[in-house]
Structure 1
Amino acid sequence: METITWFHKESGFTLDYATSTEIIDAMKTFEVRDDDVWIVTYPKSGTTWMQEMVSAVSADGDLESISKKSLDDRIPFIDCIFPFDIRPRFQELEEAASPRFIKTHFPHQLIPQGVLTKNPKVIYVARNPKDVMVSCFHFYNAFVRNAPKVKWDEFFQHFITNNVPWGSWFDHNLYWWNRRHESHVMFVTFEEMKQDLVKVVSDVSKFLGKDLDKETIERIADHCSFGKMKKNPQANKSQNLMKDTVNGDTGNTVQFMRKGKVGDWKNQLTVAQNEIFNNLYKDKLQETDLNFDKFVL
């Protein structure tokens, strides 16, 4: 199996090339505030979707005001340092006024401990693992980082052995699933967002202590529909995918947001791969009540 050179090992985890030792060390002392709002997800689970929703809700539905600031600046991604960042996001956040809105993919073992021990609001977005796996495959291959593109069969093996950025989907999701009943934790699925976005916007509004009227909630839901999100340059950040760390513009036109569908895995997994993953899925979740069965099996 070919080594994917745009990933690296750190603290026992496979991480993205842009998650440095400096960041891992900084997370050990990063000060979490009780009025923080953390959007925590495994990659490609609806993170950007929830970021835009939280932005709109926190602005009381003032969509014009949030459009004046990039999504990355409204809700910084604390895990990585990219070539287009002026300085590490965690340093900006240390100086930012409250309340802070923060995005992370870190598993609980690497996330700042205050997220686990204090009471910041945590919105965890989960998505069925087969669609996550397929979406991650296409997403990582959109980057040209002086490394060969990984083939699907190779990536499948990397995913089921946790040799992908941010580790095991199962461990990542189960930690927050087991804390979903805590008052400061909201656990929501990508599939719920696809099924009834208005309800999810309403639930997020209540969770964040907002009392938005029906018209505002519906307007936010319309703004956050996948079709409009894909056309929104602040959300569909394709320009950042087109930059190679060494060679500059790669000509890559792959967009940050691809299909946003439920069940797209059926177009990718072979019959044999599906059987292998089903056995893994049943083994990892058999003693839990986390259930994506109707979207996976």
Structure 2
Amino acid sequence: MTFQKDKFEKLVEYGVLEKSTSSGDYVHVHAQEHSEDFLDAMEKMNSSGNVVWIVGYPKTGSHFVQGILKNMGCKLSTDVKDEKGGIYIEWNPLENQRFGTKAIKLLENAAKTHEASDVPLIMPHSHLPLSSFPAKIDGNKVIFVDRDPRATASSAFHFFCEKKDDEDTVYIEPYVKTMEVNEDINKFTELFFTGNFYYGDYFEYNNQWKKNFEAKYQNAEILYLKFEDLKYNLPAQVSKIADFLEFENVNADKIAEESSFKVE
């Protein structure tokens, strides 16, 4: 199967993909409000300061790592809100924030006011490709989560087919219908492994993050984790995260027990 450019263009028309003006890549974004220039706002975002990001291809474990950081005492951005303006940050990925550009501005302000805090602010997890990740992340730390691509594809298939009719994931239905998935795991897997999943080519996505991060962000740090290591030796991975964040006296066994999860 070759790249289905015509169908990706349809997904742009549906509003669940944008073509980046900087890289030319098709990037999945979806905001229910304040959606104009949403991708551009993310690409130009300034989160410099005491901030941690969790990044990875969908269904690789970013939600799980977010839970670990919460149990370690980090401040979640879901606590950030503008009550007067009615703007708040959701548990959703950065690129799926309901309030679009308003959410980006709220997060930028939160990063500034949180800079002197003893614990880092955890930004919404993100599946953005490196080419569209926020430009200014000086002083930030990034945790990148990877997973066996076969397990990732299987988990993504079940998630997309189960969530295609949910109000909270309205961006899924256009992809499932346009690509004619028809709840066929073989069709979905073929799309996934030929770069036709709308988060981009899985292998290219990972390669870009692993090979080019340090060149793009010389004043930020990154930690690479494997989902399988989290699954089979969680206390050791908790300790690794604690060291990366420079946390002291962390009870890795206790946090691992509190953070246990059901594997999809």
Q: TM-score, normalised by structure 1?
A: 0.62
Say whether 1:15 aligns with 2:28. Answer: yes
**Counterparts of 1:38 and 1:203, CA distance in 2:** 16
1:219 aligns to what? 254
SS at match of 1:106: coil
1:176 aligns to what? 209
Query: Which of the numbers 73, 97, 111 marks the counterpart of 1:81?
Result: 97
Look up the equivalent residue of 2:17 and give its one-letter code. H
Q: Size of the alignment, in residue pairs?
A: 216
Look up the equivalent residue of 1:137 and give its one-letter code. F
Matches within 5 A, 1:218-297: 218-227=253-262, 259-260=263-264
Matches within 5 A, 1:122-141: 122-141=142-161
- Report the Cα offset of residue 74 of structure 1: 8.7
1:196 aligns to what? 233
1:47 aligns to what? 62
1:289 aligns to what? none
**Counterparts of 1:93 and 1:137, CA distance in 2:** 31
- Report the Cα offset of residue 89 of structure 1: 2.9
SS at match of 1:114: coil
Gaps of 5+ in 2: 81-87, 115-119
Look up the equivalent residue of 2:55 and give its one-letter code. V
Query: Which of the numbers 93, 101, 106 marks the counterpart of 2:122?
Result: 101
1:158 aligns to what? 191
**Counterparts of 1:195 and 1:114, CA distance in 2:** 35
**Counterparts of 2:202 and 2:39, CA distance in 1:** 20
- Report the Cα offset of residue 179 of structure 1: 6.1
**Counterparts of 1:129 and 1:202, CA distance in 2:** 25
SS at match of 1:104: coil
Say whether 1:58 aligns with 2:73. Answer: yes
Look up the equivalent residue of 1:10 and give its one-letter code. K
1:3-36, Cα deviation, whole Å (9 max, x unpaired):
5967435222152544955321102321121321
The change in CA–CA distance for 1:73 and 1:28 in structure 2 (over 3 A counts) is closer
Query: Which of the numbers 187, 194, 205 marks the counterpart of 2:224?
Result: 187
Is the CA contact 1:122–1:185 (under 8 Å) kept in the aligned structure 2?
yes
**Counterparts of 1:86 and 1:105, CA distance in 2:** 15
The change in CA–CA distance for 1:138 and 1:119 in structure 2 (over 3 A counts) is same
Alpha-carbon RMSD across the aligned residues, in angstroms, is: 3.4
1:272 aligns to what? none
Query: Which of the numbers 132, 149, 153 marks the counterpart of 1:110?
Result: 132
**Counterparts of 2:90 and 2:240, CA distance in 1:** 21
Gaps of 5+ in 1: 60-64, 228-258, 261-297
